[in-house]
Structure 1
Amino acid sequence: MTGAALALVYFSAIYFVPEVLSIISKTFSVIIPFIIAALLSLLMEPAVNFLSAGTRMSRPLAVGLSMLAIFGGAGLIVVLAVFRLVKELIDLSVTLPQYVKPVHEFILYSFEKSKVFYFSLPPEISGRINESLGTITGALSNFTRSLAHFLLGFASALPEAILGIIVAIIATYFFSRDHSLLVKLWLGAVPEPWGEKVLKVVREVGHAFLSYVRAQAVLVSLTTVQAIVGLYFLGVDYALTVGLLIGFFDILPVFGPATIIIPWAVWSFISGNVAFGVKLIILYLIIWVVRQSLEARVVAANLGLHPLAVLAVMYIGLRLMGVPGLIFGPILLITAQAAHKALKGS
């Protein structure tokens, strides 16, 4: 019996579990616009209730005005940022040759010096250098190929992403407009007490997830503002463009602000601008220290969790899943906490 049970567990882990995970992944990718719409409607609910109850406005009109205010405000901010970004990119394209010229001269100088050094080396050392260069060239070739595949996949997925955004916006309106009707239909279809319990769990998880997103938005915004202000103080001509780029990389946990600042500082040291390189390193250290010291506290404050618990799940997630665990660890924690809170309250 024990052997049969172990065999069943083994075959389930090898064949059944991967299939189930694949089905869940495909299902999630299909319903993700509706999940986003449900979360957005939950986010808009206080504003919709205020307009419909406080001003006696019809709910469809209140939903429409709330969506216009939220999406319109976010769109206006994005448009203004894009206009400023385009202006700085145009200016950068005009002055780019003067930045590229020193790089080109440095590469030529380094190449000439390396040729003299290379031909003076013993054959066995030069052979190893050739092998190392071949390895580096192969790695760069693989990276270029992977980057090309990524860009091709991104471009091919863009129409589908735009369609998903449109579906999410339309679904947000109907989720919010027919909120009461959808709740009644659910309670009528699912027997008590499970219908109400599931609704409580969904509400708690939704509120907790939005709180987590708000916490991450605060941290990314803080990093972006620090980068822009710091670069302005350093006299960088395109502080807004570079600061927004640093903020974008801060969203990606695999990369982070170091992806921009550290190579920039290294190049400053190589090109002889040591003082500017030191200032960039100091700016990065400030951004890193502020982020590390506030991340657990901000997430905990928005979710009502102890900072130690948030820090623990982030560390465990990092050890078990790598860098993605820094995101999924807190998400799993808030989901478990919200579900426990909802079920306990019921």
Structure 2
Amino acid sequence: MGITAVLVVLYLAAVYLIPEFVVIVYTTIKILSPFVVAIMLALFLEPLVRLFTEKSKMSRPAAAGVSMFLVFGGIIFLLSLLTTRLVVELIDLSISLPQYIKPVQEFITGAVEQGRFYFFQYPELSNNIKSNLGNIAQQVSGWAGFIANSLLHIASGVPSAVLGIIVTLIATYFFIKDRAKMVELWLKLMPSPWAGRVLDISREVAGAFLSYVRAQAVLISLTTLQAIAGLYIIGTEYALTMGLLIGMFDVMPVLGPAAIFLPWALWSLISGSTAFGIKLIILYLLIWVVRQTLEARVVAANLGLHPLAVLAAMYIGLKLFGVSGLIIGPILLIAAQAALKACGWPKD
């Protein structure tokens, strides 16, 4: 009877309480997202702030301001340099785009001319083609509407995004500046046994999460640099633009750089640029091998986990949550490891 009651309670909790709890947590994080990001940025900048306060004997408020200026200023400077070069390549690409479109038009025209014979000879095939073309037209129309609505949504969200960035930067400064006061206030407000324990767990989880983000940033940066350098070596005109695009796609699980490389290489082979297509395939394989070889090791090195544990977390996450589980799995492993470490397990 007791076991049955426990099972019923667990079932009701899983069906009713846990989903509501997840919704509440998600909504809370969404509303407080500027402050959550600010806490992460403050933790990320803490080593640099500590360096200034200890080595230069700088006050903590001054160290916070200098650290934010150096890091964010450096990021803005690098983005400015990349944007300048990117604009030059995009302008050049827009001018020379017709000469790239012309072979595509000729290929499609030739394919249509060759397909006319089969179109008229086989009525069933022609009906299927007409039906598929109608479906494609509807899908394209739907995509166009979706893109237009998305652009309007993005445009309407710009003021809110700017306000969010400003709030995040201000909150980051105060989180860094008054870190000791906030910790002291937390310890006073919470009961003594749990205050320190929760604080330790939060520190461990946040530190491990930042380590995971740092590991992913290293891998994505490596992929981007490999792509840019490789494209320059094989003689691509728009190496920086395409390399940055490949780096952006590297964030996407499963697809990654393949979403750019494989269609590009396939079109090069079809259009007669066989040597260039083969070079693209070789470059993609090189980037893929390096990524697969280093991913588990880099993540494990930053988190202090065995590569097999990281690999298992990614696989289990994929099975449980789908593609997003490749990210969720390691994050859950990080949280579990950090919580156990904060609770003093395993014992030395």
Scaled by the length of structure 2, the TM-score of the pair is: 0.92
Counterpart check, 1:161 vs 2:193: no
- After TM superposition, the structure 1 = structure 2 runs for residues 1-346 of structure 1, keeping only pairs within 5 Å, are 12-121=13-122, 123-253=123-253, 255-344=255-344
The change in CA–CA distance for 1:28 and 1:169 in structure 2 (over 3 A counts) is same
- Structure 2, unaligned runs of 5 or more: none
SS of residue in 2 equivalent to 1:251: coil
Q: Structure 1 stretch 103-112 or stretch 144-153: which is displaced more?
A: 144-153
SS of residue in 2 equivalent to 1:253: coil
Letter in 2 for 1:182: M
Letter in 2 for 1:266: L
The change in CA–CA distance for 1:34 and 1:281 in structure 2 (over 3 A counts) is same
The change in CA–CA distance for 1:264 and 1:69 in structure 2 (over 3 A counts) is same
Letter in 2 for 1:241: T
Distance in 1 separating the partners of 2:5 and 2:118: 68
Letter in 1 for 2:41: L
Distance in 1 separating the partners of 2:140 and 2:13: 40
Distance in 2 separating the partners of 1:96 and 1:66: 43
Aligned identity (percent) is: 57
The Cα RMSD (Å) is 2.1
Distance in 2 separating the partners of 1:243 and 1:292: 19
Distance in 1 separating the partners of 2:294 and 2:254: 19
Distance in 1 separating the partners of 2:7 and 2:339: 32
The change in CA–CA distance for 1:99 and 1:221 in structure 2 (over 3 A counts) is same
SS of residue in 1 equivalent to 2:253: coil
- Once the two structures are superposed, residues 53-88 of structure 1 have per-residue CA deviations (whole angstroms, 9 ceiling, x without a partner) of 322222111110011111111111111111111111
Size of the alignment, in residue pairs?
345
Q: CA deviation at 1:32?
A: 1.8
- Structure 1, unaligned runs of 5 or more: none
SS of residue in 1 equivalent to 2:272: coil
Q: CA deviation at 1:17?
A: 3.3
Letter in 1 for 2:282: I
Distance in 2 separating the partners of 1:319 and 1:156: 37
Q: CA deviation at 1:12?
A: 4.5
The change in CA–CA distance for 1:336 and 1:230 in structure 2 (over 3 A counts) is same
Q: CA deviation at 1:150?
A: 3.7
Q: CA deviation at 1:286?
A: 0.9
Q: CA deviation at 1:6?
A: 6.1
The change in CA–CA distance for 1:5 and 1:199 in structure 2 (over 3 A counts) is closer
Distance in 2 separating the partners of 1:205 and 1:8: 30
The answer (yes or no) to whether the contact 2:219–2:295 under 8 Å persists in 1 is yes
Q: CA deviation at 1:8?
A: 5.5
SS of residue in 2 equivalent to 1:323: helix
SS of residue in 2 equivalent to 1:286: helix
Distance in 2 separating the partners of 1:331 and 1:160: 29
Distance in 1 separating the partners of 2:341 and 2:19: 31
Scaled by the length of structure 1, the TM-score of the pair is: 0.93
Q: Structure 1 stretch 205-214 or stretch 147-156: which is displaced more?
A: 147-156
The change in CA–CA distance for 1:236 and 1:150 in structure 2 (over 3 A counts) is same
SS of residue in 1 equivalent to 2:259: helix
The answer (yes or no) to whether the contact 2:119–2:125 under 8 Å persists in 1 is no
Distance in 2 separating the partners of 1:47 and 1:29: 28
Distance in 2 separating the partners of 1:176 and 1:22: 30
Distance in 2 separating the partners of 1:81 and 1:179: 35
- Once the two structures are superposed, residues 254-311 of structure 1 have per-residue CA deviations (whole angstroms, 9 ceiling, x without a partner) of 6411111111111112212122111111111111111111100100011100000000
